[in-house]
Copies of this chain bind each other. A is one copy, B any other.
Amino acid sequence: MEADHNVDIGGAAAAAAEGAPVTSRWNPTKEQISMLEGLYMQGIRTPSAEQIQQITSRLKAYGHIEGKNVFYWFQNHKARQRQKQKQESMAYINRYFHRTPQPIFAPNCPNVICSPYYLPQSDIGFYPQYHHPKVLLPGGIRRRPRTEKQEKSRAFDDDAPVHMAGNSQETLPLFPLHPTGNLHGETGKSSIGSSSAMNSTNTRSFSDQVEEGSGDQLFFDFFSGEGSSESG
C-alpha cells in the first residue's frame, strides 16, 4: 500500500483534462523500453497476468502505462524479433544456396540458425516460460513442440474482477485482453474513469458491431423472444 497517489488513473483522461494531446496510443519512455527489453532478454516471452501486472506497476513509475501495453509490447516484440530472424535466416540460406553446392542437408544442419540475439549460452534454458529455441525456417517446417502438455498456459481469470471492492488506490489495470471486444465506443478514450461510457455513441464504422442504438434493440429483442419461449 504505497502512497501511489499519483497513479494517474487514467493517463489519457487526465492528459485530456490537462490539455495534453490525449495520447491515443501508448508512448513508451526510454526507461520503460529498457526494462521491457531486459525482461525479454531474460527470456520472458509471454508474461502471465501476474507478471504483466507487476511489470505494469513498476513501469508506471516511468510514465503512464497499462497492462495492455505491456501485453502488446511483448506480443509485438516477440513477433518482430522472430520476423527479423526469419529474414536473416532466409538471407543466410539464400546466400548459402547461391554460393555452395548444396550439401544436401549436411550433417551440420545449417538451417539451425537459432538465436539472433538472445539464445542461451549453452543449456541455461530454464526460463519460467517457454523459450523453445525454435529454429524458424524460412517458410516451411512448422514446429510444434508445444504438444508436450502445455504448462497449462495462462488463460483468463474467469470473470473475476469484482474482488477488489473499495480499494481505489490500485485500480488494477486488469489489462486488456482480448482482441476485439471492447468497449464502449468513443468515450472509451477516457477509459478509466472507469469505464464507462456514459453514452457511447457508436463505433459502428468498420467492422462489425451493431450500432449500439438499434443494435441493442435487436439484441434484447432476441433475448426477450428466446428467453420467454425457450426452455424447451
A interface residue numbers (CB < 8 A to B) = 10, 24, 31, 34-35, 38-39, 42-56, 58, 61, 66-68, 71, 75, 126-130, 145-166, 168, 171-192, 194-197, 200, 202-216, 218-220, 222-223, 226-227, 230-231
The answer to whether B177 touches A176, judged by C-beta atoms less than 8 angstroms apart, is: yes
A130 contact set on B, CB distance < 8 A:
206-208
A220 contact set on B, CB distance < 8 A:
54
Residue of A190, A196, A210 with most chain B CB atoms under a 10 A cut-off: A210
Q: Given A58-B223, A188-B155, do A196 and B163 touch, yes or no (CB 8 Å)?
A: yes
The answer to whether A192 touches B222, judged by C-beta atoms less than 8 angstroms apart, is: no
A68 contact set on B, CB distance < 8 A:
155-156, 158-159, 178, 181
The answer to whether A48 touches B183, judged by C-beta atoms less than 8 angstroms apart, is: yes
Per assembly, the copies of the chain total 2
Q: Which of B149, B150, B184, B214 contacts A50 (CB 8 A)?
A: B184
Residue of A47, A176, A183 with most chain B CB atoms under a 10 A cut-off: A183
Main secondary structure of the interface of A (DSSP, over half): loop
The answer to whether A183 touches B191, judged by C-beta atoms less than 8 angstroms apart, is: no
The answer to whether A208 touches B156, judged by C-beta atoms less than 8 angstroms apart, is: yes
The answer to whether A128 touches B183, judged by C-beta atoms less than 8 angstroms apart, is: no
Closest 6 CB pairs of A and B: A177-B178, A128-B215, A159-B173, A154-B182, A161-B161, A160-B191
The answer to whether B51 touches A215, judged by C-beta atoms less than 8 angstroms apart, is: yes
The answer to whether B181 touches A161, judged by C-beta atoms less than 8 angstroms apart, is: no
Give A166 to B47 CA distance when docked, in angstroms: 29
Q: Given A48-B210, A209-B48, do A35 and B223 touch, yes or no (CB 8 Å)?
A: yes
Closest to A227 in B: B58
Give A207 to B173 CA distance when docked, in angstroms: 20
